[in-house]
Chain A
Amino acid sequence: MTKILTKHFDEPKLHELETYKRLDGYKGLEKALTLAPAEVTAEVLKSNLRGLGGAGFPTGAKWGTVPPVDKVPGPRYVVVNADESEPGCFKDRVLLTRAPHQLIEGLLIAAHAIGAKEAFIFVRGEYQNQYDIIEKAVKEAEAAGYTKHAKLMLMRGAGAYISGLDTALLETMEGKKAWPRQPPPFPTVAGLMAKPTVVNNVETLSMLPFILREGGEAFAKIGSAKNGGTVVFSVSGHVEKPGIYEVPMGSKLRDVLTLAGGVRKGHTLKCVIPGGTSMPPLMEKDLDLALDFDQIRAAGTFLGAGGMIVLDETADAVAVAHNIERFLTHESCGQCTPCREGSYWNEEILERMLHGKGTPEDVPNMTRIGENITGKVICALGDTVGMVTRAYIQRFPEDFKKRISDGQKS
């Protein structure tokens, strides 16, 4: 199967510059620097690369919205979002650990494309091991002369999931509470310190060396329609071989599950969360679904950041929804009332159901709460708060019914 990012992962010293260079490392950057910035963006547009941090926005199109220097003079920035914290996602951690130079090369390509003289790598605080690796790799890249066109700086987060949302990440970087901004303006117009800023995920940027080296068309050819290249799934939960698996965009859910060794022995599949716990689950009937941003969306859920959690028949939908709502309650930034209060209400109701005190009003109440959150808040976390429990209620009504104590109020 075609691999791009994890192709050389059997090389034990891939994280070192010498090994990375031997395997065509920094050739993409060298090529990019011979091109005009607009030509680099054009190549990325051709590649159909989509934002792999979760939103799936076409990367070349995002870069294209950065105003040109002659119209808006002054600094512009590229920020690497390495604040991976969506439950189920760990591919960025592996990419940072195993292939830091691939990311740095991609970042330097992006900096050239939008004319950024300064670029930032924002790493979640709990990835101190990975921070050390990337810090060392940045020093190697500097010493080798690759960073002449853009200075690289590192920064750490402080434990907030919401910092991983682009505008909240920028607020964190500005030394503020991680409260998402209400766009417009989008970060590419007014981002870090109100300067044009491109925020891209680790995996997205790591794709750029290949795109520049082999050409955008070669990358587009690997994937499916409008979804170029590959995607790295983080697979965990009730599977035999949890880990990361890189597959071409548009691969079947069934095939990704097979790579991960299938559902653990002696058990049967209940559902698969495709992109991290914020995404509604896919069912057994979806096993032949082609996994890319558009086809997953048509099936009523999202590719997200590829954090695939497999659940077998032992998982109870009420307990799973409770775990997710508890997470969301903890991570809601508190800015929008529907999300702040709604996540807590849902968590409390689900907790009551878990303790055998569910009432017949609980499901209609949670449905109504959900309907009053999604679409009425600033950011995607809030949308999720309203969506997740409803998704489990809709797919597993029996699990919820079992928790209602004979219609008696307790």
Chain B
Amino acid sequence: MSVTTATKSPFTAEQEAVLLRWKNEYPYPNMGLVEALRSVQDWNRRMTPECVARVAEIFELPFNRVWGVATFFPTFTQWKTGRKRVGLCHGLSCWLAGSDKMEKRLEETLGVPEKTCTADGEYSWESMECLGACEQGPALLVNDRLVGAATEETVAKLKESK
């Protein structure tokens, strides 16, 4: 990674205010970092060096320190997620309930392979580790909200719900 300087913030004034709010939310500024990066992932749908450099500036931390965090957690991606980021659990219980079949259904329904955004930017899907909904497997997650079991019907409905 070459030196990245954020001469101009990649964020809007409103977004800058949100990042500052996270910095001041907890007893110590660094405690807001993961939440701040969650906001960046929401807005930008992936982590870029430019975004992370600006977050590092705001939090007064070295770029590498923040880039390490921004590439450690599975929520943060370097590929662009869809505005609707769909997760399908393939933990043991969900796999027993047929998650591998539902992976194929998701790929067919959304028309893109795993971790690839549709051309209109609306959808992406990925297999995820245990989502804590083992009794209703294979568990389906849309933008961090559990939406019940993945079935032929619920997967088909994903594209209808706008």
Q: Select the stretch in B91-99, B102-110, B152-160 that faces chain A.
A: B91-99
Q: Which residues of B contact A292 (CB under 8 A)?
A: none
Q: For the complex, give the distance between the alpha carbons of A118 and B30 in Å.
A: 16
Q: Determine if A331 and B28 form an interchain contact, defined as CB atoms under 8 angstroms apart.
A: no
B66 to chain A, nearest CB (A): 8
Chain B contacts with A in 2-16, Cβ cutoff 8 A: none
Count B interface residues, CB 8 Å: 42
Q: For the complex, give the distance between the alpha carbons of A333 and B33 in Å.
A: 19
12 interchain pairs, CB-CB under 8 A? A87-B92, A87-B134, A125-B75, A126-B131, A126-B141, A128-B143, A158-B75, A174-B28, A236-B93, A236-B137, A307-B134, A327-B130
Q: For the complex, give the distance between the alpha carbons of A236 and B95 in Å.
A: 11
A155 interfacial contact with B, CB 8 Å: yes
Q: Determine if A156 and B72 form an interchain contact, defined as CB atoms under 8 angstroms apart.
A: no
Chain B contacts with A in 60-118, Cβ cutoff 8 A: 68-69, 72-76, 87, 90-93, 95-96
Option from A92, A161, A311 in Cβ contact (under 8 Å) with B130: A161
Chain B residues with CB under 8 Å of chain A are 25-28, 30-35, 37-38, 59, 68-69, 72-76, 87, 90-93, 95-96, 128-137, 141, 143-146
Hey, what's the 0/1 contact readout for A73-110 against B, CB within 8 Å counting as 1? 00100000000111111101100000000000000000
Q: Which residues of A contact B28 (CB under 8 A)?
A: 174, 193
Q: Determine if A84 and B132 form an interchain contact, defined as CB atoms under 8 angstroms apart.
A: yes
Q: Select the stretch in A8-16, A175-183, A214-222, A296-304 that faces chain B.
A: A175-183
A160 interfacial contact with B, CB 8 Å: yes
A127 interfacial contact with B, CB 8 Å: yes
Chain A contacts with B in 136-170, Cβ cutoff 8 A: 153, 155-161
Q: For the complex, give the distance between the alpha carbons of A308 and B97 in Å.
A: 15
Q: Determine if A159 and B73 form an interchain contact, defined as CB atoms under 8 angstroms apart.
A: yes
Hey, what's the 0/1 contact readout for A228-250 against B, CB within 8 Å counting as 1? 00000011111000111000000
